[in-house]
């Protein structure tokens, strides 16, 4: 048995593969949720590497396996170093995804992972918005946070047919919200920067996107949300327990979300149970649950490694087909045509 060829797929190749493929990525994410709901994936807990001298920094490992007709295993290794913004202007997040061949266990590819992470997160959020909220042309969509994830979610919403009257953008740094507003305006999108408060941006918006770096809840008034609203709780820690308990809650994976003091985890600790959870996104896809029109709806995605794996596998296939993958010749030192030991 021979070791597979090991390939490198960088950011430019990933961008070429993903360009204009928003609907394809959303369908891929939906199919992966179906597989996950059917028990055809393995998705262990994420592993956090932290640094006592740098408490704001971390590196996370997300191992996973997909057991379908093209089974694959792999891992995303993603770093978050917020200080990068102040030291050289580097992005906060960087990542790689390693794919492993299930016949030999050998790595197949190393793929730039920050775009994979952002795209799977945004596609998951846009898919949940489609499943939970029938009105794709509300008066307003509120976007709280104006970083790369917020931008990617907005792009997926736009590309999947959302046409709100306006996007309301809020950020703790008003200049960032104004810059995002200007970017959307340059695309012909009606947007405003709400510099007063996040609550002012949220109030009355049909869809609310939470994409902040908040470490603990700040949105505490359950009366702020109405049954006409759906919340994409992408950053997981913005919502206080009373807000969670007043809503219909849909998670990507219950066990994963009930960790690390996420808003659902805090609600579980406060109530001693999980009765406030309606189900998962795979339950929505398969029709086992339906959106509740009598309450606000909240989608809380912890972020599953199987989504990174599925998208990385797709990129690996497409990059190979398009001639964008770079072979790392004899990476394993076995010699041309040599058999694995």
Per cent of the chain over pLDDT 70 is: 98
Supply the mean pLDDT for the chain. Answer: 95
Say if residue 163 is in the same domain as residue 226.
yes
Mapped onto helix, strand or coil, the DSSP state of residue 124 is helix
* Same domain for 12 and 157: no
Domain that holds residue 72: 7-116+305-327
Q: Sign of torsion, CA 211 285 303 149?
A: negative
- Three-state secondary-structure class, residue 1: coil
Decide if 341 is inside a domain: no
The pLDDT tens digits of the residues spanning 282-339 come to: 999 999 999 999 999 999 999 999 999 999 999 999 999 999 999 999 899 886 554 5
For residue 340, name the pLDDT band (cuts at 50, 70, 90).
very low
- Four-residue CA torsion sign, 234, 240, 244, 247: negative
Same domain, 75 and 147: no
Q: Is 106 helix (H, G, I), strand (E, B) or coil?
A: coil
What is the pLDDT at residue 48? 92
Domain match, 39 and 23 both: yes
Is residue 103 located within the same domain as residue 162? no
The predicted pLDDT at position 341 comes to 47
Q: Is the dihedral of CA 79, 143, 216, 46 positive or negative?
A: negative
Nearest alpha-carbon partner for 304 in 265, 251, 250, 264: 251
Instruction: Give 35's pLDDT tier (boundaries 50, 70, 90).
Output: very high
Return all residues near 97 (Cβ < 8 A) that are at least 6 apart: 74, 75, 76, 77, 110, 111, 113, 116, 308, 309, 312
CATH number at residue 32: 3.30.1780.10
* 290/323 same-domain check: no
pLDDT of residue 336: 53
* CATH code at position 185: 3.40.50.720
Q: Would you say residue 127 lies in a domain?
A: no
Q: Is residue 315 part of a domain?
A: yes
Whether pLDDT at 178 is above 70? yes
Give a yes or no: residue 108 inside a domain.
yes
Q: How many structural domains is the chain composed of?
A: 2
Q: What is the pLDDT of residues 87-104, one digit of tens each?
A: 778 998 999 999 999 999
Query: Within 10 A of 172 (CB to CB), how many other CB atoms are there?
Result: 13
Give the mean model confidence (pLDDT) for residues 204-213.
97
Do 151 and 17 belong together in one domain?
A: no
Q: What is the pLDDT of residue 1?
A: 77
d(CA 207, CA 142): 6
C-alpha dist (Å) from residue 9 to 116, 309, 316: 12, 14, 8
Per-residue pLDDT tens for 250-269? 999 999 999 999 999 999 99
In a domain, 197, yes or no: yes
Q: Are residues 149 and 276 in the same domain?
A: yes
Indicate if the pLDDT at residue 233 is higher than 80: yes
Read off the pLDDT of each residue in 99-115 and give the average, rounded to a whole number.
96
Same domain, 217 and 74: no
Q: Report the candidate in 33, 248, 14, 206 with the shortest Cα–Cα distance to residue 111.
A: 14
Tell me: do 145 and 250 sit in the same domain.
yes
Indicate if 83 and 100 belong to the same structural domain. yes
Co-location of 314 and 282 in the same domain: no
Residue 339 lies in a domain: no
Asked, for residue 103, whether it belongs to a domain, the answer is: yes
Cα–Cα distance between 109 and 99 in angstroms, integer? 5
Q: Is residue 129, in this structure, part of any structural domain at all?
A: no
- Residue 231: beta bridge partners? 208, 298
Query: Looking at residue 88, what is its pLDDT?
Result: 74
């Amino acid at each position: 048995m021979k070791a597979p060829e090991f390939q490198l797929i960088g950011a430019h190749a990933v961008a070429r593969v993903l360009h204009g493929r928003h609907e394809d990525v959303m369908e891929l994410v939906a199919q992966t949720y179906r597989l996950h709901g059917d028990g055809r994936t393995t998705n262990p807990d994420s592993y956090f590497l932290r640094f006592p001298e740098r408490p704001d920094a971390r590196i996370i490992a997300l191992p996973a396996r997909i057991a379908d007709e093209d089974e694959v295993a792999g891992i995303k290794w993603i770093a978050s170093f917020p200080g990068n913004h102040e030291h050289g202007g580097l992005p906060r997040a960087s990542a790689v995804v390693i794919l492993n061949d299930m016949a030999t266990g050998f790595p197949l590819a190393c793929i730039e992972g920050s775009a994979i992470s952002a795209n799977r997160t945004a596609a998951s959020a846009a898919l949940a918005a489609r499943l939970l909220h029938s009105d794709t042309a509300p008066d307003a969509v509120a976007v709280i946070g104006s970083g790369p994830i917020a931008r990617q979610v907005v792009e997926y919403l736009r590309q999947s047919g959302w046409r709100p009257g306006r996007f309301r953008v809020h950020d703790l740094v008003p200049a960032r919200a104004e810059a995002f507003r200007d970017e959307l305006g340059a695309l012909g999108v009606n947007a405003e920067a709400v510099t007063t408060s996040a609550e002012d941006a949220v109030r009355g918006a049909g869809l609310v996107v939470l994409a902040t770096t908040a470490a603990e809840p700040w949105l505490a008034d359950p009366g702020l949300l109405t049954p006409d609203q759906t919340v994409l709780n992408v950053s997981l820690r913005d919502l206080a327990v009373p807000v969670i308990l007043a809503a219909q809650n849909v998670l990507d994976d219950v066990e994963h979300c009930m960790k690390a003091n996420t808003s659902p985890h805090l609600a579980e600790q406060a109530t001693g149970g999980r009765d406030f959870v309606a189900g998962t996104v795979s339950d929505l896809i398969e029709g086992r649950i339906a959106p509740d029109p009598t309450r606000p709806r909240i989608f809380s995605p912890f972020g599953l490694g199987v989504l990174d794996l599925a998208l990385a596998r797709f990129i690996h296939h497409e990059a190979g087909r398009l001639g964008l993958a770079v072979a790392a010749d004899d990476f394993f030192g076995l010699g041309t045509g040599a058999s694995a030991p």
